[in-house]
Structure 1
């Protein structure tokens, strides 16, 4: 009997980052849907009630809605958010974490750090 892979929503405006992280998540046994903007992700999230990823990996700075604005719109959904950013500003980090972000990672980050953060929020580190 095959197990369903947890679905991760990956939101980043950089296509190469989306491709690389999707491959990384796949190599760790995780499935990912990718979105180039927060608006694109929220359109799917808000229009399809059954679409509920297990976790969201979210860039901070993107065209349209930024990551913090997407996080605000998700408030109360119970879906863990892991931020990734190339622009690590202390005030933004503090705001994201205060609003409930599970992790805040600066690009470039070590692959294992991201996988560990995702596995932690999905409670996959407990083992079989």
Structure 2
């Protein structure tokens, strides 16, 4: 007996998700393993379930369908049937690259035609051709949407899930990056953006330091200045300075100046 084709449905509209679920239930060859209401949850579930096929809405808030695909490792990208309301660029792109899509609202007949198309994609030789088409589609999309490359911290509606609770989710250049909190050494604030410094990389995001302070666990991260939040696990030495100010010296040798206005936050730490 052949294994069922594992499917994930990704759409921010509950009615759309439930509609596809109902249609899939009539076809035993397909097994629905997850339904996702946003791009962040979609990425998590694709990595978790390794589906063969996804139904992917394009026009989702914050992280759209193209950004979901662009954030996946190449070997984890499944076969895709896009679902979308009218989008001139997307429809032209799909037709140019011969990628299947369902234009909302679609008929049952059109849906089951897409399922047959998906079966043909999942043959090994056909899937390799599909992957090449998908690479070209994503390349064209992001070349035409360079203005959509703002870098920012994604609002996390699933913070209670272990996958997200200890990571900062950053959208940059059309990709989603999960930065472990334990790797963040300090954050440096400017007028309209901040720099997030890890041991190997610096992420620049459009965010205020005040907002970031609320997102980070207070038991580990301490605001020491209007321009700095530091992960105290990386602090090697504390040195007093003039007028109640102080310096924190990190294990890397980096010196960060702290303000007396934030000194009381040091709590158990002694100067």
1:1-128 matches, within 5 Å, as 3-29=2-28, 30-32=30-32, 33-46=34-47, 48=48, 51-74=49-72, 76-77=74-75, 78-86=77-85, 88-96=86-94, 102-123=99-120
Deviation by residue 1:40-96 (Cα, 9 ceiling, x = unmatched): 0101223x3xx211111001111221011112224623511111112x122122345
Q: Is the 8 A contact 1:6 1:31 kept in 2?
A: yes
Q: Residues of 2 paired with 1:114 and 1:15: CA distance?
A: 18
Q: Alignment length, in residue pairs?
A: 118
Q: Residues of 2 paired with 1:83 and 1:66: CA distance?
A: 11
The structure whose Rg is larger is: 2
Highest relative contact order (Cα 8 Å, sep 6+), 1 or 2?
A: 1
Deviation by residue 1:9-57 (Cα, 9 ceiling, x = unmatched): 11001111111110101112222221111210101223x3xx2111110
Give the 3-state SS of the residue equivalent to 2:92 in structure 1.
Answer: helix
Q: Is the 8 A contact 1:14 1:36 kept in 2?
A: yes
Give the 3-state SS of the residue equivalent to 2:71 in structure 1.
Answer: helix
Once superposed, what is the RMSD of the aligned Cα atoms? 2.3
Q: Residues of 1 paired with 2:9 and 2:79: CA distance?
A: 12
Query: Mind listing any 5+ residue stretches in structure 2 that lack a counterpart?
Result: 122-271
TM-score (norm 1): 0.77
Give the 3-state SS of the residue equivalent to 1:27 in structure 2.
Answer: coil
Query: Mind listing any 5+ residue stretches in structure 1 that lack a counterpart?
Result: none
Give the 3-state SS of the residue equivalent to 2:25 in structure 1.
Answer: helix
Q: Is the 8 A contact 1:28 1:115 kept in 2?
A: no
